[in-house]
Amino acid sequence: METYSRTKSVWQRMNRQEREAAVQYCEGYKDFLDHCRTERLAVKRIMKEAEDRGFHLLSAHQPLKPGDRVCLNQKGKSAVLAVIGRKPLTEGLKIVGSHIDSPRLDLKANPVNEQDGIVYFRTHYYGGIKKYQWTCIPLALIGVVYTRDGKKTEINIGMDPSDPVFCISDLLIHMAQDQMKKTLADGITGEQLQAIAGIHSEDSQKPKEAVMALLKEKYGIEEEDFTSAELELVPADKSRDAGLDRSLILSYGQDDRVCSYANLTAILNAEPGEYTQVALLTDKEEIGSYGNTGMESSYFTTFVKELLIAAGSYGPAALEKTLAASEVLSADVNSCLDPMFPEVTEKDNSALLGYGICVTKFTGARGKSGSNDANAEYLSKIRGIFNEAGVPWQIGELGKVDQGGGGTIAFMMADWGCEVVDCGTAMLSMHAPMDLVSKADAYTTYLAYKAFFESR
């Protein structure tokens, strides 16, 4: 297949079998999207699939030999999977780093608020969102609550079609003349992002007491338990095929589960290689990678250190040597040309929807500020891998020179001295409650990561 083209889409270039394989792959991807709405649910699924395919927790697997499959579960919110290669670890790892958290609305520590007979859950949004987009859509409440005696209760309300959902109201158009004059940034405020939790009460009960009684009865939760809970409101609608031709997937959370599912599927299916393959599926990217489940944490490098110890290759500077010799794909989504908003992109350097996995030399904006800016030598190597394996790929920058911007985990991994390039799926409506991805691009992302894992 022609691997690089800006005039022929991937679908045009594929033969019948390839198209069928892409559609088939996307059925699995949609199932992943519908069951992994949060980073915790994603890790559960990832660990289950890894276990089924012969991965063991690293601590339970020593000494390591080529072909061994080991994994790490970082506090139920990040995961790392590794397949040991034939070469010594110190010659470097092949790492694909993606993230499994997505923008959403988190419940505050004291969320329950009754106002004029309506009970609300107050929220603080997580990641970058256009707040007005999160009103008037069905929301599911997912997460964990610890009761006073330390018992963990898992909550998942709204994803089952028979469940109730939550919703944030917006002002009716008839009375919105003042609101309509506000900017999109101010039309709905953070304080207004409160989801309705109920209005009913019986006898002399107040609505808030009735809602709390329901929570107590169904989940054993008291109001104080919210103070030590992690509850996320996420869009409740399941993923759907979009377009008459079913060419697209419309779903919540495709940033960055489109790359994460490709990363997981690639490491599960790749032939064990010369080099050790590592799928890193991290949390907290959307809020700057902080916290002990994010990329700024040392959990990943500690995992690599433990790999070295288990393989009997740990010694002076072994960790630093291993990381510096590694090659990394920073697997995160990119924007693409949106014909409805042509003013923000420069056509010839923007990714195109349906034209394959997108390689981005630099992110950042206004003088490449904050960008990893990959080396020509490494870009050339990646280009060679994709061309040789028949993987359709394209280039794409993140908006016009002084327009775009946005970071990934690339620069944090580049701190190790390894080669890193941003390489992920281009999408429309990124960070909206439902974003849009081309099926051909989603499938190509998987092919790209698999080819990278198997490369020399």
Residues near Mn ion (CB under 5 A) are 255-256, 332
Residue placing its CB nearer to Mn ion in the complex, 104 or 321: 104
Can you tell me the distance from the alpha carbon of 300 to that of 96, in angstroms, rounded to the nearest whole number?
Answer: 12
Q: Provide DSSP, 51-114.
A: HHTT-EEGGG--S--TT-EEEEEETTTEEEEEE--SS-GGG-EEEEEEE----EEEEEEEEEEE
Residue placing its CB nearer to Mn ion in the complex, 69 or 284: 284
Using alpha carbons, select from 266, 263, 335 the residue that is nearest to residue 100: 263
Residue placing its CB nearer to Mn ion in the complex, 36 or 70: 36
Distance in Å, CB of 358 to Mn ion, minimum: 13
Distance in Å, CB of 18 to Mn ion, minimum: 27
DSSP type of residue 239: P
Q: Quick check: 153 and 219 in contact, CB under 8 A?
A: yes
Using alpha carbons, select from 218, 219, 209 the residue that is nearest to residue 147: 219
Distance in Å, CB of 433 to Mn ion, minimum: 13
Residue placing its CB nearer to Mn ion in the complex, 9 or 334: 334
Can you tell me the distance from the alpha carbon of 346 to that of 233, in angstroms, rounded to the nearest whole number?
Answer: 35
Determine the number of helices (DSSP H) and then strands (DSSP E) in the chain: 10, 20
Residue placing its CB nearer to Mn ion in the complex, 83 or 398: 398
Distance in Å, CB of 162 to Mn ion, minimum: 32
Distance in Å, CB of 435 to Mn ion, minimum: 10
Q: Quick check: 153 and 145 in contact, CB under 8 A?
A: yes
Residue placing its CB nearer to Mn ion in the complex, 68 or 332: 332
Residue placing its CB nearer to Mn ion in the complex, 255 or 306: 255
Distance in Å, CB of 127 to Mn ion, minimum: 6
Our CA angle for 232, 236, 242, nearest 5°, is 130
Distance in Å, CB of 441 to Mn ion, minimum: 15
Residues 6+ apart with CB under 8 A from 105: 123, 124, 125, 126, 134, 139, 193, 195, 232, 233, 234
Residue placing its CB nearer to Mn ion in the complex, 327 or 435: 435
Distance in Å, CB of 99 to Mn ion, minimum: 6
Can you tell me the distance from the alpha carbon of 136 to that of 96, in angstroms, rounded to the nearest whole number?
Answer: 37
Residue placing its CB nearer to Mn ion in the complex, 352 or 432: 432
Distance in Å, CB of 260 to Mn ion, minimum: 10
Distance in Å, CB of 308 to Mn ion, minimum: 29
Residue placing its CB nearer to Mn ion in the complex, 306 or 332: 332
Strand order in the sheet with 93-99: 56-57, 69-74, 78-83, 276-282, 93-99, 327-330, 419-424, 357-360, 393-395
Distance in Å, CB of 409 to Mn ion, minimum: 9
CB-based burial, 37-51: b 16+ in 10 Å, e otherwise: bbbbbbbbbbbeebe
Residue placing its CB nearer to Mn ion in the complex, 3 or 251: 251
Using alpha carbons, select from 214, 234, 212 the residue that is nearest to residue 225: 212
CA distances from 246 to 151, 242, 249 (A): 45, 5, 8
Residues 6+ apart with CB under 8 A from 37: 140, 142, 159, 232, 234, 252, 253
